[in-house]
Amino acid sequence: MRGISLLLLGATLASCTTAPPPPSTRHPAAELQLQQLLAGKVARPEISCLQSYNTNDMTVIDGQTLVFRRGTGTVYLTHLSPGCELLSPQTTYALLSRQFGTTGMCRGDIQHVIDTTNRITVGSCTIASIIPYVRAGS
């Protein structure tokens, strides 16, 4: 009887585990663009906020990846949680950030994808991580 109890307990615990999410499959052109933006740069520790970012220096790689350029050598690789997949450089969708009480964009901030033609929200997500990349040797 004890063996059956242990077997049931093991089966229950195994059913509670979750597998890691499948790796992101990025379009080859988007992957090439990302590699070009990160070429010659090394990752630094993740930061919690990107202060005073400029949306004119934002590059949409895909619906889960943004890159912000600052100056000539630093870029910030920003990962988004699921929900903003419709965002891409080829669409009329825009990313709308709403910050309260801060001048930057921080991990956990809610982002909305807006259809600029129809002026409706078509998705939302949060900032999952912000990783600075600096020129090697800096």
Among 12-21, 32-41, 68-77, 112-121, the range scoring the smallest mean pLDDT is: 12-21
Closest among 69, 89, 81, 61 to 129, alpha carbons compared: 81
Buried/exposed 106-120: b ≥16 CB within 10 Å, e otherwise: bbebebbbbeeeeee
State the DSSP code for 126. Answer: E
Closest among 131, 121, 26, 6 to 74, alpha carbons compared: 131
Q: How many helices (H) and strands (E) does the chain have?
A: 2, 9
pLDDT tens, position by position, 7-66:
444 444 444 444 434 445 778 988 999 999 999 999 999 999 888 776 678 899 998 999
